[in-house]
Chain A
């Protein structure tokens, strides 16, 4: 039964993955795949040369990942629980339909909207200026960049993210709530002892997968705003590779970085999975 899906994956994912061999070549698209010059690990230099800019990019990446795991990851869970606790089915649906809308905007548009509202001549600053007050640099402040990124992601994807959790909530056996009520459990206790455990496995699963993506933080979102705050504050791994390789058509470099990121992700996911097992959770897969 696994066959059709498996074949699709092997043909359209793993077969082209073999092309990542160009990580060890100076690949030129007009030279046949096998015949580009082999350059050993030269393409990996961009990440292993210990360049200060690279280290800064790595630092920013990890910082953003940590902040986002703390603030972005739980947001849809909280919202899903809140929605789930609503009395009226209709309000619940309306609210959810509204909140998931921003997911469908591309980053170009989201950032344009943020600029129209928060930019130097955006709605808020124009208002402040015309009333003789000082303006606030929301978008160009290097110290506030991570907060800005995080709020954009929350705005864009929280509503969308609830969908999966809402589906998980429907799987909880209502009998459990009934039993809890019979025992006189308060609503908070029900939440804590019935609802959260009911979706815990999913939360952990998603968290592990998110950890695998630790080195990937919104490339498009950041590169579009890099001019606003400058590179020192906004350079992350992906933008660094873009600015120092991809931009000049160095295909081998992007393949090399893809390989390294993949390997790191494997370590992180398997590691996190192991930790989940230690705590008696299912994780992504069991032994």
Chain B
């Protein structure tokens, strides 16, 4: 048995062993202080590119643009690549592009990079499996997107990713101005075992969840939403719900808004010097009871708790309000068939009238790492990543997202619009390199300046309440191996309670069990991690 395994699999064993570089205690390491050892984060230097159309009122405010800047300028010189192939392992949520040999966009991309780019592309849902087998077979590319759910991430990155500390820590990053254009909050998620081992695919606040409402429908029905408290929200939902017309208040339970109104954190939070999880707080039970009542009163789309089709319901008008990311606003406008279609982003308020606290999600979509390489090669790969991160409004960005004028896009005013060829060759503006590095995510809804204003005003009101999730960038071994299991278990119970299949009282027992089967251990490890980072 052993013999045949050795002889047959010997190749990959040897290959894998090289990557390990003699670290024999890699498994099950629980030295939390070592795994969370701090490092000087890269200096943040905002790249002063095209000026946003609205002033930045807060460090977390995304750049707001009414239209694409006219005459975008080139902000890099020469080519970033070193002439040899760059292999990338990445994912996509879009149809795959035609291969390089028949894709003028890809050919031009190679020319501009100065290195032929080879991509291994996998559909996002399949990525965890693909990633695990590629890790086992040591077939990841020179650049690879890291599956964030992968167990023992620090140990993995220590073994298989280039330590980028000397290239990026502190002012060293200024060599790569577009990587330096990522805030330190994003870089926190790239530090493992005392080294910078990845680069962020930043999203800022744009991927956080929020309440969205159809202003056109509210107007039509003569209902005022404005800046609601819990009671206002329920009142509005009741006013707009009309079952006979297949119209409901919400597409899905508005947990983000209600959490904001109740002052709940998103996950872990420091309260009185101790970490607590949102699920343990009494307000969380209130959240459950409120959303449960909403289901009972028929204010939520009948399939809204269980099924994920809220985009259609919201666009179609069978739900007047929904919960989605800030960035989703654009996709709703794109789908809309109604000319008056208009979305507003209400500011939630607590019972006392104060602005409800915004629920920030992770500042990153994911992170990407570099295969261990020579210093020269590492620098070249970092230059490529830097190029991928050129910000909105630059010539590099325009090409990266929209391709070549004429073939891939046409200009509507100064706004680029993808052509059919652009759609397929540039992957709808989301060529999979966007999961290897990306610039800051702008608020830009072409053709809908009022939507940009609306979002801007919303963010201006809520961002002062923002607290970055304290656990982001901390590593807890228990979270790594059990976190997802516990989360899905609690989510399943949440749905049971909302739908009335389980009693609200079941929550207390579940929380006790949740703490016992991992959450207390996670808390403890996160606190140690914070201490190790010198943050507590």
Q: Which of A's residues lie within 8 Å of B, judged by CB?
A: 15, 18, 26, 28-37, 115, 119-121, 125-126, 129-130, 132, 135, 139-140, 142, 226-228, 230-232, 243-245, 247-251
Contact of B244 with A132 in the complex, beta carbons under 8 Å? yes
Chain B nearest Cβ from A203, distance in angstroms: 37
Cα A55 to Cα B136 in complex, Å, equals: 33
A250 / chain B contacts, CB cutoff of 8 Å: 151, 481
Within 8 A of A (CB), among B150-169: 150-152, 155-156, 159-160
A26 and B302 contact, Cβ closer than 8 Å, known pairs A32-B16, A121-B246, A248-B481: no
Q: Whose C-beta in chain A lies nearest to the C-beta of B248? A: A121
Q: Whose C-beta in chain A lies nearest to the C-beta of B313? A: A121
Cα A126 to Cα B24 in complex, Å, equals: 62
Chain B nearest Cβ from A14, distance in angstroms: 10
Cα A45 to Cα B16 in complex, Å, equals: 29
Cα A147 to Cα B237 in complex, Å, equals: 35
Contact of B488 with A227 in the complex, beta carbons under 8 Å? no
Q: Which of A29, A35, A227 contacts B132 (CB 8 A)?
A: A29
B16 / chain A contacts, CB cutoff of 8 Å: 30-32
A248 and B484 contact, Cβ closer than 8 Å, known pairs A33-B9, A121-B302: yes
Contact of A243 with B485 in the complex, beta carbons under 8 Å? yes
Q: Which of B155, B159, B303 contacts A115 (CB 8 A)?
A: B303
Q: Is B533 positioned at the interface, with any CB of A under 8 Å from its CB? A: no
Chain A nearest Cβ from B84, distance in angstroms: 25
Chain B nearest Cβ from A133, distance in angstroms: 11
Contact of B150 with A249 in the complex, beta carbons under 8 Å? yes
Contact of B484 with A227 in the complex, beta carbons under 8 Å? no
A230 / chain B contacts, CB cutoff of 8 Å: 492, 495-496, 499, 501-502
Interface centre among A227, A232, A244 (most CB of B within 10 A): A227
Contact of A227 with B20 in the complex, beta carbons under 8 Å? no
Cα A26 to Cα B313 in complex, Å, equals: 44
Cα A36 to Cα B77 in complex, Å, equals: 47
Q: Is B318 positioned at the interface, with any CB of A under 8 Å from its CB? A: yes
B159 / chain A contacts, CB cutoff of 8 Å: 30-31
Q: Helix, strand, loop or mixed for chain B's interface?
A: helix
Contact of B1 with A32 in the complex, beta carbons under 8 Å? no
Contact of A28 with B151 in the complex, beta carbons under 8 Å? yes
Contact of B135 with A30 in the complex, beta carbons under 8 Å? yes
Contact of A32 with B151 in the complex, beta carbons under 8 Å? no
Closest 4 CB pairs of A and B: A120-B302, A249-B151, A29-B136, A29-B135
Contact of A119 with B136 in the complex, beta carbons under 8 Å? no
Contact of B306 with A227 in the complex, beta carbons under 8 Å? yes
Interface centre among B19, B24, B501 (most CB of A within 10 A): B501
A248 and B246 contact, Cβ closer than 8 Å, known pairs A30-B16, A30-B159, A119-B302: no
Q: Whose C-beta in chain B lies nearest to the C-beta of A18? A: B5
Q: Which of A15, A121, A140 contacts B301 (CB 8 A)?
A: A121
Q: Which of B's residues lie within 8 Å of A, judged by CB?
A: 1, 4-6, 8-9, 12-13, 16-17, 19-20, 24, 26-28, 128, 132-133, 135-136, 149-152, 155-156, 159-160, 243-246, 301-303, 305-307, 313, 318, 480-485, 488-489, 492, 495-496, 499, 501-502
B305 / chain A contacts, CB cutoff of 8 Å: 227
Contact of B301 with A120 in the complex, beta carbons under 8 Å? yes
Chain A nearest Cβ from B163, distance in angstroms: 15
Contact of B307 with A228 in the complex, beta carbons under 8 Å? yes
A121 and B485 contact, Cβ closer than 8 Å, known pairs A29-B132, A32-B16, A249-B132: no
Contact of B19 with A30 in the complex, beta carbons under 8 Å? yes
Chain B nearest Cβ from A223, distance in angstroms: 11
Contact of B27 with A36 in the complex, beta carbons under 8 Å? yes
Q: Whose C-beta in chain B lies nearest to the C-beta of A130? A: B244
B485 / chain A contacts, CB cutoff of 8 Å: 243-245, 247-248
Taking A31-B27, A119-B302, A227-B307 as given, write out 18 further A-B residue pairs in contact, using a Cβ cutoff of 8 Å, ordered by the A residue number: A18-B1, A30-B20, A30-B136, A31-B20, A31-B159, A35-B24, A119-B303, A125-B302, A129-B243, A139-B306, A230-B496, A230-B499, A231-B492, A243-B485, A248-B151, A248-B480, A248-B483, A251-B132
Chain A to chain B contacts (Cβ below 8 Å), 6 pairs? A31-B159, A120-B301, A130-B246, A140-B499, A247-B488, A249-B481
Q: Whose C-beta in chain A lies nearest to the C-beta of B19? A: A30
Q: Whose C-beta in chain A lies nearest to the C-beta of B16? A: A32
Chain A nearest Cβ from B6, distance in angstroms: 8
Contact of A32 with B17 in the complex, beta carbons under 8 Å? yes
Cα A14 to Cα B163 in complex, Å, equals: 39
Contact of A33 with B246 in the complex, beta carbons under 8 Å? no
A140 and B481 contact, Cβ closer than 8 Å, known pairs A28-B155, A33-B5: no
Cα A244 to Cα B486 in complex, Å, equals: 8
Q: Which of B8, B28, B155, B499 contacts A30 (CB 8 A)?
A: B155
A249 / chain B contacts, CB cutoff of 8 Å: 128, 132, 149-151, 481
Q: Whose C-beta in chain A lies nearest to the C-beta of B243? A: A129
A37 / chain B contacts, CB cutoff of 8 Å: 27-28
Q: Which of A129, A227, A228, A251 contacts B246 (CB 8 A)?
A: A129
Q: Whose C-beta in chain A lies nearest to the C-beta of B151? A: A249
Contact of A33 with B301 in the complex, beta carbons under 8 Å? no
A130 / chain B contacts, CB cutoff of 8 Å: 244-246
A132 / chain B contacts, CB cutoff of 8 Å: 244
Q: Whose C-beta in chain A lies nearest to the C-beta of B8? A: A15
Cα A34 to Cα B485 in complex, Å, equals: 27
Chain B nearest Cβ from A106, distance in angstroms: 13
